């Protein structure tokens, strides 16, 4: 991953880090972004002046601080959008009715990059070569994201209150893109603490379970606003891990195979009314099995 351009967090310059991570180079400095912010401020001032320079609205506007930047190094979405326009790139909200965004919702891997924001922090998720990376400046280095986990990760961000934007347009060429197509980044494997093998699918599976548990309230119910997104993401994450795709009949005795079945059953249960204790689809039993699995893996 050494070839990937990654700026670590400096002050509140996450907008700069986010843009440079997206473009894969030191294309923007704080001065560049400040210039864009000042231009936007001036355009807003001119529009407000059309109401009359003696009007209360205009005088009140002059007394307010800039909404496009501050002394800490924060820059607004308008500044980021203007910076991307220089490169012919477009920033479209993930929640937009834009027809192009439908592809991002159904298959995020078909996109090329996302920009995410939460509480004034910006970061980029981008495909480099044929792999996806979390380029958050708060990380010590880029974080590889598997294709199956990408949908789950975006669903998690939405549920945590992040605003997500899809990038459209032609990104500039970068050396990392070419190098990673030739030699893909190796996944970081967790230490093996038992006789069981550990791979990326295990990591994705456990993340899926944690999300499914985290989104249940104390009564074991799901927030209906987030249920569809999480169910879809979980299914995508589990799709390649289904016991139906396994050739060995003994997988029924494998703990992870049983767990996958449990999650799939729980997904099916979400669309039904609460089951009776005697029902083969008992949500409480399934939830207990997931909790027990996580407890065992965390104590290994």
17 is catalytic: no
Distances (CA, A) of 221 to 110, 132, 203, 208, 275: 32, 32, 25, 17, 13
Establish whether 51 is a catalytic residue.
no
Per DSSP, what are the bridge partners of residue 145? 132
Contact 155, 237 (CB under 8 A): no
Tokens for 112, please give them.
């090329």
Phi, psi of 82 (to 5 degrees): -65, -40
Burial of 218 (0-12, 13-18, 19+ CB in 10 A): exposed
* Distance (Å, whole) CA 108 – CA 230: 14
Collapse the DSSP code of 266 into the 3-class scheme (helix H, G, I; strand E, B; otherwise coil) and give the result. helix
Tell me which of 14, 18, 116, 174 is the catalytic residue. Answer: 14
Distances (CA, A) of 167 to 88, 112, 200: 11, 7, 27
Outline where 74-199 has alpha helix (H). 77-85, 101-106, 147-159, 175-182
Q: Report d(CA 216, CA 221) in Å as an integer.
A: 5
Beta carbons within 10 angstroms of residue 247's beta carbon: 5
The catalytic residue among 121, 174, 207, 241 is: 121
Are 168 and 89 in contact, with CB atoms under 8 Å apart?
yes
219 catalytically annotated: no
- Any residues with CB less than 8 A from the CB of 71 and at least 6 apart, and which? none
Q: How many whole angstroms separate alpha carbon 218 and alpha carbon 225?
A: 17
Q: Out of 136, 174, 207, 241, pick the active-site residue.
A: 136
Q: Which residue numbers are catalytic?
A: 14, 121, 136
């Amino acid at each position: 991953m050494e070839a990937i351009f990654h700026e670590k967090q400096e002050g509140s310059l996450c907008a700069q880090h986010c843009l440079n991570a997206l473009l894969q180079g030191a294309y923007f400095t704080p001065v560049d972004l400040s210039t864009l912010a000042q231009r936007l401020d001036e355009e807003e001032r001119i529009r407000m002046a059309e109401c009359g320079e003696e009007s209360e609205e205009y005088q009140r506007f002059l007394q307010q601080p800039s909404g496009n930047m501050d002394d800490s190094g924060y820059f607004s979405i308008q500044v980021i959008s203007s910076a991307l326009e220089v490169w012919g790139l477009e920033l479209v909200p993930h929640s937009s009715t834009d027809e192009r965004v439908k592809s991002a919702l159904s298959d995020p891997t078909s996109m090329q990059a996302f920009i995410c924001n939460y509480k004034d922090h910006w970061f980029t998720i981008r495909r480099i070569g044929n792999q996806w990376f979390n380029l958050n400046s708060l990380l010590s280095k880029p974080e590889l994201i598997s294709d199956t986990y990408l949908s789950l990760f975006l669903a998690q961000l939405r549920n945590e209150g992040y605003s997500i934007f899809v990038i459209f347009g032609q990104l500039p060429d970068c050396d990392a893109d070419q190098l990673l197509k030739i030699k893909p980044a190796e996944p970081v494997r967790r230490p093996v603490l038992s006789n069981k093998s550990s791979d990326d699918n295990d990591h994705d599976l456990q993340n899926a379970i944690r999300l499914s548990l985290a989104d249940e309230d104390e009564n074991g119910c799901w927030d209906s606003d987030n249920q569809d997104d999480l169910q879809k993401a979980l299914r995508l994450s589990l799709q390649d891990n289904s016991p139906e795709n396994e050739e060995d009949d003994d997988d029924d005795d494998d703990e992870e195979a049983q767990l996958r079945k449990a999650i799939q059953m729980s997904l099916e249960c979400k669309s039904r009314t609460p089951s009776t204790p005697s029902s083969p689809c008992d949500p409480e039993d399934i939830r207990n099995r997931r909790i027990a699995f996580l407890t065992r893996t965390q104590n290994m």
